[in-house]
Amino acid sequence: MLKKLFLSILIILFLLLSIALYRTFSHTPPANGIITGEVISIDELRASQNLATSIRFKTISYQDKEMFPYEEFNKFIKWAAITYPEFHQAMQIEQLEHSLLFKWQGSDSMLAPILFEGHHDVVPIIPGTEDLWEEDPFAGVISNNRIWGRGALDDKSGVIGLMEAATYLIKSNFQPKRTIYFSFGHDEEVGGSGAALITEKLRQEGVQLYWSLGEGSFVNKGFFPGIDKFIAPINVAEKGSVNLMIIAKAKGGHSSTPPKKTAVTILAEALVKLEKEPLPGSLEGLSAAMFNEVSKHMPFGYRFLFANRWLFGGILDSQLSSTPVINAMIRTTTAPTMLNGSIKSNVLPIEATALINFRLHPRDTTESVTNHVRRVVGSNEVEVRFLGGREASEISSWDSPGFKIVSFALEKVYGEIIPVPGLMIAASDTRHYSKIADNSFRFNPFYIVPEDMTGIHGTNESIEINSFISGIKTYVEIIREGSSN
């Protein structure tokens, strides 16, 4: 009897393993030939110098509108007009505050337009880190095959790259069939009121975009284990954000006779509970589509796991959750950021508070997150107060013409590359434009390696010249194809 049971278990294990192995060997990318594009000859030196020059304008945006160095913005706008005369002549131009909207009229006005957006404002240098920069962040230095300075990646490369690409097409006598808009915001880093104004203007004119492409993630290499090919996460959605205040209440009094639990310890317990019970997250929908594609290119071990999510789903979810960036892609994150207790060392607080910032996965809403937190920590002693928030964006289709055009363009320029739908974990101006677009994508066609990440909003922001040029060429392909069909 025991022998029979043992044998049955063995057979079941053997069957499971066979299915798992079969699935692993079928979990491979399709063997398509790579599409090659025509040669696009960009004047690399001139383009790099133009990006370097654009970095010298200190177009820093601040939460306080009074602090904007508007003179720098004016100088930048004037310089762009002189540096890209063909671009400025071919377009109708509209300036809203210090944001710019360019319209390149297509020959077929029945077709819905497309829009490309970027922003020419940059974040300040973190005080005290100036000396850590290898090159002055606003000198626009080119050295070691890189263009250095604030905005090199975020997002002057986007703005200059788009003007370079369109100029190339204008000089080659290209005429768009579908109308194209280029929109460059002046305050993306502090909320994007410029992008909101432009969106509102277009809406009033009755414009509904076929699709839009704005800043987002980059072509990258070296972020995923075991893959040495370029990966292009084209973001099809953007996370939302909620701030909640957790307020723990107690009696207070003199610190010489504390009760067993003070407001501070009650608060601390609440925070630990929240850490132990994060918002649920797993590989499904958008995240599943992304990892499904990427994992086809991974070594055997990873393919074995990803091809058999029916068997290893639990292990995979907890593995993925242990890396902060990937964790942020699969769930709503919980980040306590500001704490407050007593105002004096010998006074027990009657209230201790923690502000928690949640970044919303599209599957959650500001309401569902607030309810989750109330369920986990809410009590007579702990109040959960909603301070404000923004829902995650809608999810655009990765089976749509815009997504395919961007993917093909990347392949033409980069050769072997893996385009996958991605989730934007930061905010961007696209959340405004997406209100008037059928589909919206958040992606920069420049490539980065993991070390480049610390430069964005941090120290030593820079872009490799080759990366910048490849991005311009990709824009050429996207604009040409996108406005022809």
Binding site for Zn ion (CB under 5 A): 154-155, 215
CB of 376 to Zn ion, least distance (A): 34
Q: Least distance from C-beta 455 to Zn ion, angstroms? A: 12
Q: For Zn ion, which is the closer residue by CB, 215 or 464?
A: 215
To Zn ion, the closest distance from the beta carbon of 155 in angstroms equals: 4
State the minimum distance, in angstroms, from the CB of residue 149 to Zn ion: 14
Encoding tokens for residue 476?
A: 């050429």
The one catalytic residue among 117, 135, 154, 188? 188
| Cβ distance to Zn ion smaller for residue 412 or 442 | 442
Closest CA to 56 of 75, 42, 36, 37: 75
- Considering the complex, state which of residue 215 and residue 293 has its C-beta at the smaller distance from Zn ion: 215
Minimum Å distance from CB 235 to Zn ion? 13
Residue 360, token pair as written in the block = 């919303």
Candidates 368, 482, 442, 459; CA nearest to 216 is 442
Q: How far is CA 335 from CA 264, 271, 409, in A?
A: 18, 10, 38
Measured at the alpha carbon of residue 187, what is the angle toward residues 181 and 188, in degrees to the nearest 5? 70
Shortest Å distance, C-beta 218 to Zn ion: 11
The single-letter code of the amino acid at 425 is I
Q: Is 275 a catalytic residue?
A: no
121 is annotated as an active-site residue: yes
The rounded distance, in Å, linking the Cα atoms of 467 and 453 is 14
Task: Give which of 397, 390, 419, 423 is closest to 477, Cα–Cα.
Answer: 419
Distance (Å, rounded) from C-alpha 350 to C-alpha 361? 34
The contacts of residue 143 (CB under 8 Å, 6+ apart) are: 135
The owner of tokens 């569902």 is: 368
Closest distance between Zn ion and the C-beta of residue 78, in Å? 22
To Zn ion, the closest distance from the beta carbon of 154 in angstroms equals 4
Please give the DSSP secondary-structure letter assigned to residue 343: S
Among 270, 267, 223, 236, residue whose Cα is nearest residue 249: 267
Pairing relation of β-strands 240-249 and 351-360? antiparallel
What is the rounded CA–CA span in Å between residue 479 and residue 117? 12
**187 vs 215 by CB, closer to Zn ion:** 215
How far apart are alpha carbons 172 and 191 in whole angstroms? 37
Angle of helix 70-83 relative to helix 44-56, nearest 10 degrees, comes to 160
Minimum CB–partner distance for residue 383 and Zn ion (Å) = 36
Residue 309 phi/psi, 5° resolution? Answer: -65, -25
Residue 205, helix vs strand vs coil? coil
Amino acid at 338: M
149-to-205, 271, 438, 441 alpha-carbon distances in Å: 38, 39, 35, 26
Q: Which is nearer to Zn ion, 184 or 224 (CB)?
A: 184
Q: Smaller CB distance to Zn ion: residue 88 or 457?
A: 457
Phi, psi (5° rounding) for residue 348? -75, 135
Residues 6+ apart with CB under 8 A from 481: 405, 408, 409
Instruction: Give me 313's structure tokens.
Output: 């789903």
Please identify, using beta-carbon distances, which residue of 100 and 373 lies nearer to Zn ion: 100
339 vs 456, beta carbon nearer Zn ion: 456
Q: CB nearer to Zn ion: give 215 or 461.
A: 215
Give the residue among 333, 115, 402, 353 at the shortest CA–CA distance from 247.
Answer: 353
Q: Of 121, 293, 317, 461, which residue is the catalytic one?
A: 121
Q: Which residues are catalytic?
A: 121, 188
